Structure 1
Amino acid sequence: MLIHLHPDNPQPRNIKTVVDCLRSGGVIIYPTDTIYGIGCDIYNQAAIERICRIKNIAAKNANFSFICRDLSHLSDYAKNIGTPTFRLLKKALPGPYTFILEATKEVPKSLKTKKDTVGIRVPDHVICQTIIQELGHPIMSTSLPTDEDVEYFTDPEIIHDIFENQVDMVIDSGIGGMIGSTVIDCTNNEPVLIREGAGEWGDLL
């Protein structure tokens, strides 16, 4: 299913359709403030396994992130966040950054890495924030399997043509970006840049 959502004022009826899909174990492709991602309810193991099959990877190697509405529930999923790290998150988010943090017991085991960490994202994107608000908790997210030219994966109609038999819904809110989020590891005393993407690393220093 291809569903259209206005990027600034998403229609409540269509948001409900997306949330109902997630609650029933659906897999969606949706826009963020960087690139289109593929995601599901963090608590639905069957949906997580579906995404792993789509990407042909094991869950522990998937680099999943939690897409959150804001930092209000951060302590539910991440622990040992010192004051400097929290200030960094407050400065960067919402925005095109992913922060790797120590995971709490609330994070499903299948979504933890070997190092017991979790990636946290708060996109600066109305559709993401609205979906999560209505769902009541984060969604699990990862990048699309891009074996082809990345430009194909900026157009939701082309994305739908490619993945319509593998996912339940593709959200169309217009052309997406081509650059992923900047990834920062905050599990040690000093933040470490893992991947520079759409977020400017220098802006946070």
Structure 2
Amino acid sequence: MAQYFEIHADNPQPRLLKQAAALLSGGAILAVPTDSSYALVCRLDDKDAVDRIRRLRQINDKHHLTLLCRDLSELASYAHVDNRQYRLLKLATPGAYTFILDATKEVPRRVSHPQRKTIGLRVPDRKGLQMLLELHGAPLLATTLIPPDETEPLNDPQEIRERFEKQLDAIIDAGACPLEPTTVLDLTPMNTGGDPVVVREGRGSLQALGL
């Protein structure tokens, strides 16, 4: 049965998020609010938790999972970033963007794309999630909470509780999230002098990045 933490969206309670961070350290999977929709998260190096998330979502190893990072310097530890990419990332973080970059050896092979050796990374702009990442002290592996055989992510924490409380270890309720997904940018073409590729246009503004 999932634990349920109700936190304030703008002034999240550290005491509750410390409890949630302790669960993550023990191998839990959580539903958490982001700046786009609710997501499932777990520890990066926890194979069993990653497998549970894939089973819950019914996704295979070709589905990109995303690393949620505290800041740009942490992101650069898990992805190869050149000067052009860094300037773009600096403009866009924190924010509702997901970036596809070449993964470093810090990323376990099982969570990077099996053919391309790439990883999706985000620096979210949501206070409760930022505090959780700070308390956890490392990136979290994440995927949007889209139920199997459905196309829309879940946005209501009470509905998440009703549908998944037996499959999750905890749910963080900070109210509804925007339902618009992140903008996804593939930055790997920049390695060879190309331009970023817009994989999906979402909440993050392309105009703000000059794209």
Q: Normalising by structure 2, report the TM-score.
A: 0.92
Corresponding residue for residue 134 of structure 1: 135
Corresponding residue for residue 207 of structure 2: 202
Spell out the pairing of 1:155-170 with structure 2 (5 A cutoff): 155-170=156-171
Shift of 1:61: 2.2
Shift of 1:62: 2.5
Long gaps (5+) in structure 2: none
The question of 1:48 aligning with 2:50 is answered: yes
Question: Secondary structure in 2 aligned to 1:188?
Answer: helix
Spell out the pairing of 1:92-171 with structure 2 (5 A cutoff): 92-113=92-113, 114-146=115-147, 147-148=149-150, 150=152, 153-171=154-172
CA distance in 1, matches of 2:134, 2:32: 15
User: How far does the alpha carbon of each residue in 1:141-180 deviate from its partner, in whole angstroms, 9 at most, with x for none?
Assistant: 00113345848x2110111111101111111001112111
Contact 2:146 2:152 in 1 (8 A): no
Corresponding residue for residue 74 of structure 1: 75
CA distance in 2, matches of 1:180, 1:47: 24
CA distance in 2, matches of 1:172, 1:20: 17
The question of 1:191 aligning with 2:210 is answered: no
Identity over aligned pairs, percent: 40
CA distance in 1, matches of 2:128, 2:108: 25
Corresponding residue for residue 29 of structure 1: 31
Contact 2:30 2:41 in 1 (8 A): yes
Residue number among 3, 7, 10 corresponding to 2:9 in the alignment: 7
Q: Residues 109 and 17 of structure 1: is their aligned pair in 2 closer, same or farther, counting only changes over 3 Å? A: same
Contact 1:36 1:177 in 2 (8 A): no
Query: Matched residue pairs, number?
Result: 202
- What amino acid does structure 2 have at the position aligned with 1:162? R
Question: Secondary structure in 2 aligned to 1:38?
Answer: strand
- What amino acid does structure 2 have at the position aligned with 1:10? P
Contact 1:183 1:193 in 2 (8 A): yes
Q: Runs in 1 of length 4+ with deviation above 3 angstroms?
A: 146-151
Long gaps (5+) in structure 1: none
- What amino acid does structure 1 have at the position aligned with 2:66? S
Q: Residues 43 and 149 of structure 1: is their aligned pair in 2 closer, same or farther, counting only changes over 3 Å? A: closer
Q: Residues 149 and 106 of structure 1: is their aligned pair in 2 closer, same or farther, counting only changes over 3 Å? A: closer
Question: Secondary structure in 1 aligned to 2:72?
Answer: coil
Contact 1:42 1:139 in 2 (8 A): yes
User: How far does the alpha carbon of each residue in 1:14-43 deviate from its partner, in whole angstroms, 9 at most, with x for none?
Assistant: 011110110000000000111111110111
Residue number among 37, 40, 44 corresponding to 1:38 in the alignment: 40
CA distance in 2, matches of 1:186, 1:150: 26
Question: Secondary structure in 2 aligned to 1:73?
Answer: helix
Shift of 1:202: 2.2
CA distance in 2, matches of 1:149, 1:140: 21
Q: Which moved more, 1:187-196 or 1:139-148?
A: 139-148
